[in-house]
Structure 1
Amino acid sequence: MEVREAPQPAITNEDLEKQFDQNFKPKGAIAFFLLLILLGSIIWFGIYFLMLERI
C-alpha cells in the first residue's frame, strides 16, 4: 500500500500575515496624529496672539 502526503496549499495564512505586515503603513494613524498636532498648534498660537494683543 502506498502512502501519499496531503498536498500543501500554495499560500498559507502565515504567508499572508507576513506579507501584510511587510506592506502595512498606518496611514490613518499618521493622518490623525498630524491633525492633532495642527489643531494643538492652532489653539496654542490663537491664545499666544491674543495674549500679545493685550501688551
Structure 2
Amino acid sequence: MGLPIPPILYNALDKLNKDPGGKEQKLLRDPMLETIDKAVLIKEIQQVQQEKIVQDNKKEE
C-alpha cells in the first residue's frame, strides 16, 4: 500500500513469515479460488445478507 512500516513491526512480521529453520513459508492457495469471479461472489453475499434480514424481520413480526 505504500505506507511506511515501523522497523519493529516489520521484523515481527518477517519472523512470522519464516519457519524456525529460517525458510520462508509459502501459502498454498486452492486453484479453485483463482476461477471465482469476485464481483459475482460479492453480489451473492449481499443477496444472502438481504435474505437473512428479511427472515429476521418476519420472525420479529
Report the TM-score when normalising by structure 1.
Answer: 0.43
Q: Which has the higher contact order (CA 8 A, sep 6+)?
A: 2
Report the TM-score when normalising by structure 2.
Answer: 0.39
Higher helix share: 1
